[in-house]
Amino acid sequence: METRPLPAALKLPLSVVVITKNESARLAACLDSVPWAGEIVVVDDFSTDDTVELAKRYTPRVVQRKMEVEGRHRNFAHDQARFDWILSLDADERVSPELTAEILELFASEPAFDLYAIPRRNFIGKRWIRWGGWYPSTQVKLFKRSAFRWEETTVHPRALADRPCGSLRGDILHYSYRNLEDFVEKLNRQTTLEVQKWVLDGRRMTLGKALWRSGDRFYRSYVSKKAYRDGLWGLTVSVMASLYQFLSYAKFWQVRRTSP
């Protein structure tokens, strides 16, 4: 596979920063969606497939580093960028043509904000999940490095910024899960990391609180946010949202019972 870079004059003064872990099957589509980036930086968590070799076809800026704390790892990745403006992507994300046009227009002059929130179109396999809070699933993805940091925690880090935030309309296409099995596997990993965060924070959690959260998550997803409009997929994502809360508590209970 060969890539044909745009002339330097057509590149934006912007670094696209991507973190990877065994993403050889999806990385090319991600990087192909940003040919206008002035720089691509890939920070890889010691992949055992050919992710690194693939990344090097697109950029010489490939760094390997073990991800132990997600927020800290993302901040490290952003610090590797040459430009102050960063578009932060995961390997399972792609920039839509509509978002590309919007970003090119934005950088035709000086952007009005230092941070921009971008809607994400989330998929399970090839199915776009439109309801249940899955769309627009907006995140701050385009920002000046000097204006933005991630909370340095293990899972679901919060965005830390104290400046006004603009918003874009074009979507990032987020192929969140390859299939239902991938969804379940990631739920298992993420709940384990959630429990690690609770333990480190000294958080208190009771069965009653966990059950209330589980029920609330299902209701808000399926009823309030209308996941039922996605049919069986909507029911599935609502059940999984509820299960996240209960499974986290069950693992937390297990850790507390087995701790000395």
Residue with the two structure tokens 């379940």: 184
2-15: pLDDT as tens digits: 444 555 557 999 99
CATH class, range 8-171: alpha beta
User: What is the mean predicted confidence (pLDDT) over 201-222?
Assistant: 95
d(CA 94, CA 16): 11
Between 182 and 2, where is the model more confident? 182
- At residue 252, the pLDDT reads 96
28-75: pLDDT as tens digits: 999 999 999 999 999 999 999 999 999 999 999 999 999 998 999 999
152-175: pLDDT as tens digits: 877 778 889 999 999 999 999 999
Q: Which sign, positive or negative, has the C-alpha torsion 233, 237, 243, 247?
A: positive
pLDDT of residue 136 exceeding 90: yes
- Rounded (5°) CA angle 151-155-160: 20
Describe the strand order of the beta sheet including 127-128 as a list of residue ranges: 93-95, 172-177, 120-124, 127-128
